Amino acid sequence: MTKPALSRSAYVDAALDIIAELGVDKLSMRKVATQLGVSPMAMYKHFSAKDDLLAAAFDAFIARADVIPSDDLPWEQWVEQAGRGMYLALCAEMSWVPLLGSLPMGKQAATVTDAFVKKLQLAGFKLDQAVEAYYAVIQIAVGAVCLRASLGIADIRTPDAGELSSLTQNYLENADAARLTIAPVQEALLKRDQIDIALPLLIEALRARLKRQS
């Protein structure tokens, strides 16, 4: 009996399964192939290299994350929800984080761009301002997830109330008076959702900019 030829998306789905279970760092060409009952080398007919598979998997991940908010929201809330959506999707699958700086944006990312720019243009922003705002939100979402990851927060559970984050623990080595004052404030800040640090400030600045030109 001849095996049906495996499609590109079959490999991508298998990769996403393995990533969900073991994390991006444990993904290997061999594991994907084994899950599909195929030789590892079969994949090189569909993907030029592991990076290619990873980029395709990330784009599929973005599609599933579904970060585009409902259209009837006012722009401030729309932007806030879009940024939070990106942040939350990545928080749920934090093993992507170390690769965030090396993954190329694919087709699904482009549809998010389109929706964002359109929403802001309808709100009265100029095209270049809308594009600028989009990339500012992306930066902040990615930065927030990176910061969260550096805190050593595990994927699911929130940190135990009594326990200092690893970041604050490091900070308190060789502590002086200033650090002892700063540490609890830092710890309180970092216990909140990291997306709430810079995103509200950004939206404030955008609102001021819009008001100034109307």
Partner DNA sequence: ACCTGAACACCGTTCAAGT
CA distance 121 to 72: 14
- Answer with the entry of DNA, its own copies, none that 149 interacts with (C-beta below 5 to 8 A by kind): its own copies
Q: What share of the chain is helix, strand, coil (3-state, %, to 5)?
A: 70, 0, 30
**Residue whose structure tokens are 């001021």:** 208
Residue 68 DSSP one-character state: P
List the one residue from 49, 122, 175, 201 that touches DNA (CB under 7 A): 49
Q: How many residues bind DNA (CB under 7 A)?
A: 21
List the one residue from 28, 34, 81, 113 that touches its own copies (CB under 8 A): 113
| 153 touches its own copies by CB under 8 A | no
In the complex, the smallest distance separating the C-beta of residue 104 from its own copies, rounded to whole angstroms, is 6
**Residue whose structure tokens are 């216990």:** 191
Confirm if 15 and 57 have CB atoms less than 8 A apart.
yes
| CA 204 to mean position of chain CA atoms | 22
- Answer with the entry of its own copies, DNA, none that 46 interacts with (C-beta below 5 to 8 A by kind): DNA
The 7-46 site mask, x for binding DNA (CB under 7 A), equals: -------------------xxxxxx-x----xxxxx-xxx
In the complex, the smallest distance separating the C-beta of residue 32 from its own copies, rounded to whole angstroms, is 20
